[in-house]
């Protein structure tokens, strides 16, 4: 069965976007995520985050070998936030915050399109 995903880009102004440690704006791919359409499970299972943010080739390889669903966009891979939390429990709280915000952005977009 083919899954469909909605692309979510951070909707902050340039002034509001947190800077990288270098002082630069993070690239758009780093501020992009996807949300699985029509998924009725836990909200966090719907959210796909860029795996490159976690900077580990080993994590990407594990996702490939474990058959973890991925979305590829503009040369970047996105994996379920819930899977990242399982693999990297030390950053679970931060990933959960981001995933909740992505779900909120998706809900706001749906509300706006229905108005």
Boundaries of every domain in the chain = 5-114
Residues 6+ apart with CB under 8 A from 34: 5, 6, 7, 8, 47, 48, 71, 73, 78
Q: Decide if 99 contacts 47 (C-beta within 8 A).
A: yes
Q: From CA 77, how far away is CA 49, in angstroms rounded?
A: 8
Reference 79, options 67, 88, 70; nearest CA is 70
Under the banding of pLDDT at 50, 70 and 90, the label for residue 90 is very high
Q: Is the pLDDT of residue 100 over 90?
A: no
* pLDDT of res. 112: 63
* pLDDT of res. 17: 79
**What proportion of the chain, given as a percentage, has pLDDT over 90?**
36
- Please write the tens of the pLDDT for every residue from 50-86: 999 887 789 999 999 999 999 999 999 999 999 999 9
**20 or 115: which leads in pLDDT:** 20
Q: From CA 92, how far away is CA 18, in angstroms rounded?
A: 20
Q: From CA 83, how far away is CA 85, in angstroms rounded?
A: 5
* pLDDT of res. 111: 59
Q: What is the mean pLDDT of the chain?
A: 85
């Amino acid at each position: 069965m083919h899954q469909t995903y909605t692309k979510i880009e951070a909707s902050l102004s340039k002034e509001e976007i947190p800077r990288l440690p270098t002082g630069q704006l993070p690239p758009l791919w780093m501020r992009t995520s996807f949300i699985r359409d029509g998924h009725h499970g836990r909200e966090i299972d719907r959210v796909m985050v860029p795996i490159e943010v976690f900077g580990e080739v080993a994590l990407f390889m594990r996702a490939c070998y474990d058959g973890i669903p991925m979305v590829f966009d503009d040369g970047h891979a996105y994996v379920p936030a819930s899977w990242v939390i399982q693999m990297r429990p030390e950053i679970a709280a931060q990933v959960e915050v981001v995933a909740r915000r992505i779900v909120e952005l998706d809900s706001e977009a749906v509300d706006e399109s229905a108005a």
